[in-house]
């Protein structure tokens, strides 16, 4: 584990032709995808095609297709993980099968992996992209505190065979680096990553990436009137909470910034409304939203986008103590909104309220916020999808398509004004949340929307799939780092609207 947890940058080489017999002479690990219909004909075009056909035919008929099959050729020093694909596959399914192939190869700790898609001309590029995403994601270096930690995968290079002249895999590489960073940070235990330690890592990462940096600590936030944020931090013995602002600036191009916002609660006890044991476990990862926002910033930096990007990270802990905030308090946010506190475990929307209000003052072209915000979203969707909300209802089809195309699937929820009735307060402008938990994911989004304003396009991602046992799509770990591939694809789909705000 590197001290900074910087993602490892691996070389990706492209070969326009398919491999010939002598290409296997150097050995190594190969991932190969072929069509189930016409498998033998496609396999004959490749080295070891007869061996792959024989290995597949030795399997029962019901297990020959859409399975990751391993083929060891010890005399040549080659290991091949291959699959026969039946029909077309949606991105999520492609990434899942690619992960199963990659896992077979990465178990051998290769320094180089070769990727081949043969006979799948309509989906050739898509399969190569899925294989690359799975290999780079599976080889990530993540925290390991065991006395004898698992040795990291020494992968240095990936060779893509049969890549077309217009095939661009740079978004895949950028997203994989961002995902590696997001997962590594989320996996750090709370005693290793409080707000102060987080800031130190961010300073060093910003220096290496050339990002502008800024920090609003508690004293500054008090002057800015950020009473919602400061209510949450009152219970902490350490006065290290605050909002970090990182900025990427292109060499050419300008206009309003894209703003990424992330919830960075480094540990969440629930506060006075203390969480029970079962729900306290894993709460060091309640900062995953900030890690995903940071990973998205890293990916956009790698892609050298031609517009400014600001990343606002709300870093705090929700602790218990003599000064911890309590239900029935009334606090005032940075935009003057008064909030009646109902439940201290709804702290995420409190720190995000002030962060969104302050970020909105920069008049951004778009705000995307990421947060592990509500259990209600998990109950609504499970952990295979994440919830999305927006003050631009006409974007719903593009949100869905960006999720489908990226393999990070999302589903939009309603944002009708009548939901605000559940947040009506007799004493303040708004309640923090409702007394009952019905539709809390929707109410949380309605609450946050007050601090953005209708004039600013806004997308809120409730990361119900930020953690999933068994991993998700190409990600093999329980912490998924969900959101970076989705954000990159969404920004491509919204490019026209966003250009209009320059």
Two tokens, residue 381: 């969707």
Q: Are residues 290 and 389 in the same domain?
A: yes
Q: Are residues 246 and 276 in the same domain?
A: yes
Active-site entry in 14, 275, 404, 493: 275
Percentage of the chain beyond pLDDT 70 is 98
In a domain, 441, yes or no: yes
Q: Are 367 and 457 in contact (CB under 8 A)?
A: yes
Which of residues 160, 192, 213 is at a domain's end?
Answer: 160
Do residues 300 and 248 touch, judged by C-beta distance below 8 A? Answer: yes
Residue 1 lies in a domain: no
- If asked whether residues 181 and 123 sit together in one domain, one would say no
Domain boundary among 160, 187, 208: 160
Q: Which long-range contacts (CB under 8 A, 24 or more apart) does 41-45 make?
A: 41/119, 42/118, 42/119, 42/120, 43/118, 45/18, 45/118, 45/119
Q: At a CB cut-off of 8 Å and minimum separation 6, what does 148 contact? A: none
Cα separation, 296 vs 485, in Å, equals: 8
For residue range 148-184, list pLDDT tens digits in order. Answer: 888 889 999 999 999 988 899 999 999 999 999 999 9
Residue 324 has which token pair? 């911890």
Express as a percent the part of the chain with pLDDT over 90. Answer: 89
**Among this protein's residues, is 203 annotated catalytic?**
no
Do 193 and 123 fall within a single domain? Answer: no
> For 459-490, what is each residue's pLDDT tens digit?
999 999 999 999 999 999 999 999 999 999 99
Same domain, 232 and 333: yes
Q: Is residue 169 part of a domain?
A: no
Domain boundary among 136, 160, 184: 160
62-71 mean pLDDT = 94
Domain contains 165: no
- Indicate if 349 belongs to the active site: yes
Task: Give 5's pLDDT tier (boundaries 50, 70, 90).
Answer: low
Which residue is catalytic, options 349, 409, 431, 485?
349
Same domain, 52 and 179: no
- pLDDT tens digits, residue range 19-39? 988 888 778 899 999 999 999
Same domain, yes or no: 230 and 378: yes
CATH number at residue 299: 3.40.630.10
Whether residues 294 and 232 fall in one domain = yes
Residues 40 and 83 in one domain: yes
Same domain, yes or no, for 351 and 451? yes
Q: Tell me what the mean pLDDT of segment 66-79 comes to.
A: 92
Reported pTM: 0.96
CATH of the domain at 76: 3.40.220.10
Same domain, 440 and 492: yes
Whether 4 is in a domain gets the answer: no
Which letter does DSSP use for residue 13 in this model?
A: E
Residue 253 has pLDDT above 90, yes or no: no
Query: Residue 25 belongs to what domain range?
Result: 11-160
């Amino acid at each position: 584990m590197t001290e900074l947890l910087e993602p490892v940058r691996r070389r990706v080489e492209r070969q326009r032709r398919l491999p010939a017999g002598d290409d296997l002479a150097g050995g190594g690990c190969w991932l190969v995808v072929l069509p189930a219909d016409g498998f033998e004909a496609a396999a004959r075009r490749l080295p070891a095609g007869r061996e792959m056909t024989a290995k597949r035919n030795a399997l029962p008929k019901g297990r020959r297709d859409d399975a990751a099959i391993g083929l060891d050729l010890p005399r040549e020093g080659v290991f091949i993980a291959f699959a026969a694909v039946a029909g077309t596959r949606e991105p999520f399914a492609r990434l899942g099968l690619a992960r199963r192939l990659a896992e077979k190869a990465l178990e051998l700790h290769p320094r180089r992996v070769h990727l081949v898609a043969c006979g799948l001309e309509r989906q050739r590029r898509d399969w190569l992209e899925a294989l690359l995403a799975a290999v780079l994601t599976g080889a990530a270096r993540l925290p390991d505190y065991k006395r004898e930690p698992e040795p990291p995968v020494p992968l240095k290079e990936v060779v893509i065979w049969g890549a077309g002249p217009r095939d661009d895999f740079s978004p895949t590489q950028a997203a994989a680096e961002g995902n590696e960073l997001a997962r590594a940070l989320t996996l750090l235990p709370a005693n290793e990553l409080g707000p102060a330690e987080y800031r130190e890592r961010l300073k060093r990462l910003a220096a290496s990436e050339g990002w502008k940096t800024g920090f609003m600590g508690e004293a500054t936030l008090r002057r800015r009137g950020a009473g919602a944020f400061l209510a949450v931090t009152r219970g902490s013995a350490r006065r290290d909470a605050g909002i970090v602002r990182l900025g990427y600036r292109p060499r050419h191009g300008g206009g309003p910034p894209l703003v990424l916002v992330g919830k960075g609660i480094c540990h969440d006890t629930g506060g006075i409304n203390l969480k029970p044991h079962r729900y306290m476990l894993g709460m060091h990862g309640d900062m995953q939203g900030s890690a995903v926002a940071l990973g998205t910033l890293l990916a956009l930096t790698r892609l050298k986008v031609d517009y400014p990007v600001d990343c606002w990270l709300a870093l705090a802990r929700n602790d218990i103590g003599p000064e911890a905030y309590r239900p029935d308090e009334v606090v005032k946010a940075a935009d003057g909104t008064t909030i009646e506190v109902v439940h201290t475990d709804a702290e995420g929307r409190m720190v995000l309220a002030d962060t969104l209000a302050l970020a909105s003052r920069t008049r951004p072209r778009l705000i995307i916020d990421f947060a592990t915000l509500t259990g209600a979203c998990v109950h609504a969707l499970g952990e295979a999808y994440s919830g999305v909300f927006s003050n631009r209802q006409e974007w719903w089809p593009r949100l869905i398509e960006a999720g489908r195309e990226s393999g990070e699937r999302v589903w939009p929820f309603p944002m009708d004004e009548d939901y605000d009735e559940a947040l009506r307060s007799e004493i303040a402008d708004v309640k923090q949340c409702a007394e009952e938990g019905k539709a809390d994911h929707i109410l949380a989004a309605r609450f946050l929307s007050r601090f953005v304003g209708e004039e600013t396009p806004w997308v809120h991602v409730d990361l119900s799939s930020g953690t999933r046992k068994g991993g998700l799509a190409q990600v093999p770990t329980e912490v998924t780092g969900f959101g970076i591939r989705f954000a990159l694809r969404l920004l491509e789909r919204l490019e026209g609207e966003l250009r209009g705000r320059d």
